[in-house]
Structure 1
Amino acid sequence: MNTDLQSNEVRYQEAEALLQRYIQFLFEKNIDGWMTLLDDNFVIEFPFAPQGRPNRIEGKANLYPYIQEVLNSIEFVDLAQQQIHLTADPDVMVVEITVKGHASSIEKIHTLKYIWVLTTKDGKLVHQRDYWNPLALLEIRGGATASQAQR
């Protein structure tokens, strides 16, 4: 195996291990542990964010209160499915993830599906594009159902 392929394989393995810790810390609601995985200038984008919700957060300091609010309002029950797609760039991966959870105040379990495009550098996450259906979150929090929101 040539040196470039070996180097890329190691980077893929490191990126996958980083992702596993990322998900584990979210499920454990270990925000401080989760933050250790992020570069100080980490950027997260939410291309489908509903009006009134951020579509981009830059820097760990700005992300902390946002993720704290999210984790305080949702209980994760199960990671139902995960598929990792490695790209030609060993620092970029696409992740399909299905999570079961509920709002703290509602017992009904909902299934949330996400597609994440994650970029790593020097063992840290530097960028995430989080593609998810914001209507599902509204429903979990007891807001409008998808059919009501489309009217």
Structure 2
Amino acid sequence: MKLTARQVVDRVLEVGLRQDAEAFVGLLAADATLEWPFRPAGVPDRLQGREEILAFMTRAARAPIKFEEYRDVVVHETVDAEVVIVEYQVFGHVTTTGGPFHQTIIAVIRVRDGEIVSYRDYLNPLALAAARE
């Protein structure tokens, strides 16, 4: 049985907290797109396809940021059954300094036939840039 869009988003949150790139890519359609409309230097605006996304996510998983918890998670199911919007905050720490990490995120996710076909990640680029310094 195929997962609903809401079920897929719940899994995205689960694997995201673990920072599990392979599990995340396993939720994607073969030709899925991942976009960051607002991003710090060094982050591409768009990736397409599982291979390209996995390569980037694997590199990103080596960043010195460890996620510890999500807070204030709000999932909005829309009138379009394929589209779910999720808002949340992620808290963690920078592994090289021990300093705190806090990121506010809004993601717009389109799921078709149980797979993500489009993921737009509206993250706070300033928090990510500060953590990478």
TM-score computed with the length of structure 1 as normaliser: 0.80
Is 1:55 aligned to 2:74, yes or no? no
The letter for the 2-side match of 1:109 is P
Counting only pairs closer than 5 Å after superposition, residues 26-37 of structure 1 correspond to structure 2 as: 26-37=16-27
C-alpha contact 1:106 1:140 (8 A) present in aligned 2: no
Q: SS at the partner of 1:22?
A: helix
More helix by share: 1
1:50: Cα distance to partner? 3.0
Partner of 2:109: 118
In the comparison of the two structures, how many residue pairs are matched?
Answer: 131
CA distance in 2, matches of 1:26, 1:51: 22
More strand by share: 2
CA distance in 1, matches of 2:130, 2:35: 21
Is 1:103 aligned to 2:94, yes or no? yes
Q: What are structure 1's unaligned runs of at least 5 residues? A: 1-10, 144-151
Q: Which has the larger radius of gyration?
A: 1
Partner of 1:133: 124
Partner of 1:93: 84
Among the aligned pairs, what percent are the same residue? 28
Matching residue within 27, 44, 56 for 1:66: 56
1:73-95 Cα offsets, whole Å, 9 max, x none, are 12101111210111110100111
RMSD of aligned Cα (Å): 1.7
C-alpha contact 2:40 2:129 (8 A) present in aligned 1: no
TM-score computed with the length of structure 2 as normaliser: 0.90
1:35-65 Cα offsets, whole Å, 9 max, x none, are 1111011101111123442001111100112
CA distance in 2, matches of 1:14, 1:134: 30
Partner of 1:146: none
